[in-house]
Amino acid sequence: MRLLLALVAALALAAPAFASEARPTLAELEKELVCPTCKTTLDMSDSPQADRMRAFIRQRIAAGDSKSEIKAQLVAQFGEGVLASPPKRGFDLLAWVLPLAGLAAGAAAVGAVAWRWSRGRAAGAAGAPVAAGAAATGRLDVDPELARRLDEELARFDG
């Protein structure tokens, strides 16, 4: 039963994606393509080259081309630099993988540092040596000169 529900949900969510591929709109392609002149997405560009690309896209949509066909024609004409996001294959796959690997490495480093820090504090509190008279008096054994200076400073502060 759960498998059937998961399959229905997957098909319902995938249908708009397939429709977008078969019948693209100018607005969605403008966000996915870069003007070769000004190096901004077509929806942000107002250069003459961007206007020519929009006219070409409108013409290809009217002819019934799919999104991938239109992109392939523009890549053939201008190169892969016309794509706003790099392809998810070959060497360009690094652009997708490296940020995720960096985030994972950073999270692991922060986790390791936090673990060591928490272990260090617990070991310091549990393993701190206590002088024989310290437990009875509530004071730790310190250098007498340091204790005298501390008492003088506290007296001056209180007075």
Angle at 62 between CA 60 and CA 66, to 5 degrees: 55
Q: What per-residue confidence (pLDDT) applies to 17? A: 47
What is the pLDDT averaged over residues 93-112? 87
User: Rounded distance, CA 20 to CA 1, Å?
Assistant: 30
pLDDT of residue 18: 47
Q: Please identify which residue in the block is written with the tokens 């969510």.
A: 13
Q: Which helix (H) or strand (E) holds 152?
A: helix 144-158
Distance CA 45, CA 51 (A): 8
Query: Are the CB atoms for 69 and 60 separated by under 8 Å?
Result: yes
**Using 50, 70 and 90 to split pLDDT, how confident is the model at 106?**
very high
For the segment 144-152, the average pLDDT, to the nearest whole number, is 90
Number of H helices, E strands in the chain: 7, 0
Cβ pair 45, 38 in contact under 8 A: yes
Look at residue 41 in the predicted model and tell me its pLDDT.
Answer: 87
DSSP 101-133: HHHHHHHHHHHHHHHHHHHHHHHHHHS----TT
**Long-range Cβ pairs for the range 67-71 (8 Å, 24+):** 67/20, 67/21, 67/22, 67/24, 67/28, 67/29, 68/21, 70/24, 70/29, 71/29, 71/32, 71/33
Structural domains in the chain plus CATH codes: 24-90 (1.10.8.640)
Q: 3-12, 65-74, 100-109 — which is least confidently predicted?
A: 3-12
Q: How confident is residue 143, by pLDDT bands cut at 50, 70 and 90?
A: confident
Q: What is the pLDDT of residue 104?
A: 93
> pLDDT tens digit string along 1-60?
765 555 555 555 544 444 557 788 888 988 889 888 888 888 888 889 989 999 999 999
Asked if residue 151 has pLDDT above 70, the reply is yes
Please, what is the average pLDDT of the chain? 78
Distance CA 92, CA 115 (A): 36
